[in-house]
Amino acid sequence: MMNEKALEILETIKEFDTIIIHRHVRPDPDAYGSQGGLAEILKASFPEKKIYTVGKEEESLNFLRRLDEIDDSVYEQALVIVCDTANQERICDGRYRLGKKLIKIDHHPNEDPYGDLLWVNTDASSTSEMIYEFYLAGKEKGLIMTQEAARLIYAGIVGDTGRFLFPRTGEKTFRYASELIQYGFSLTELYDNMYRTKVNIAHLSGYVLQNFVFLPTGAAFVKISKELLQQYGASPSEASQLVSLLGNIDGMKAWVFFIEEDQEIRVRLRSKGPIVNEVAKKYGGGGHPLAAGASIYSWDDADRVIADLEAVCCAT
Ligand SMILES: [Mn+2]
């Protein structure tokens, strides 16, 4: 299988001595997995190059990777690669613009085609899966996989497929997973780190399951105010990780979490069929057809989002 884009990216990488890899804000395992996995492959394959991974660290994901702090001057002659980030506003660390050349590698819809060279595959389960395909495309040309790269890529695939459950989990995904685990990292340790739950978050899960409002249209919502977060000692990002809790409820078509932060209310939309990124777009957000997000600034707007969500549920 020829992977023209991957090979073009590899040729570009060869032209640079310094490569800086970014990913999206509010990182998830796929953001870390693709960013770190690519970095580890490049470090092993090109020991003479300087490879950096940057962005604001997410403490709960420190077990995956710690990030580099670099000076602006490092960007002057650098190639910048952004992983897993659909649009420029979501790129963590605005200095991605300071490099000599910019590459985008992503699996979200390509609505903001930024960069000099783009590789976007919306059929990929995760950007981490694409990084593994980058390795497969280039292994005859000197790319080296390491245990650490395999661990990170595997974590990204597991994260973005919801442990091999979501629809884009294909035959390829399982094949890559079986190849990756042969590098011998500890699956138990990885899963323990990825799925450990704090007691207060377990309690907040209980709140969500008790209090979600299920509408006759098959739409559901949960409103999580600042006060509620305080009561449970939970952060907004911890609360948004609970959004998948409602996916298995009988009759559920689509649902939304509203999570209040300091200046905004985060809108997290999920769906079993109705297209919800159209709803997100109406409020300046975006994402996948079945998983999208936006920010709103009042609880009145939350009611409008619910009405829009009900409308797409009725249309399907
Ligand atoms: Mn992803």
Give the model's pLDDT for residue 167. 83
pLDDT < 70 stretches in the chain = 1-2
Distance (Å, rounded) from C-alpha 31 to C-alpha 58?
Answer: 11
Q: How many whole angstroms from 220 Cα to the centroid of ligand 1? A: 25
Q: How many whole angstroms from 107 Cα to the centroid of ligand 1? A: 7
Q: How many whole angstroms from 127 Cα to the centroid of ligand 1? A: 5
Q: How many whole angstroms from 85 Cα to the centroid of ligand 1? A: 8
Distance (Å, rounded) from C-alpha 30 to C-alpha 126?
Answer: 6
Cβ-based neighbours of 60, under 8 Å, separated by 6 or more: 238
Give the model's pLDDT for residue 105. 98
Give the model's pLDDT for residue 2. 66
Give the model's pLDDT for residue 166. 85
Name the DSSP letter for residue 298: S
Q: How many whole angstroms from 131 Cα to the centroid of ligand 1? A: 11
Q: What's the N-to-C CA distance of the chain in angstroms? A: 37
- Reported pTM: 0.84
Q: How many whole angstroms from 235 Cα to the centroid of ligand 1? A: 22
State the Cα torsion 219-220-226-231 to the nearest 10°: -170
Residue 121 main-chain phi, psi, to 5 deg = -130, 100
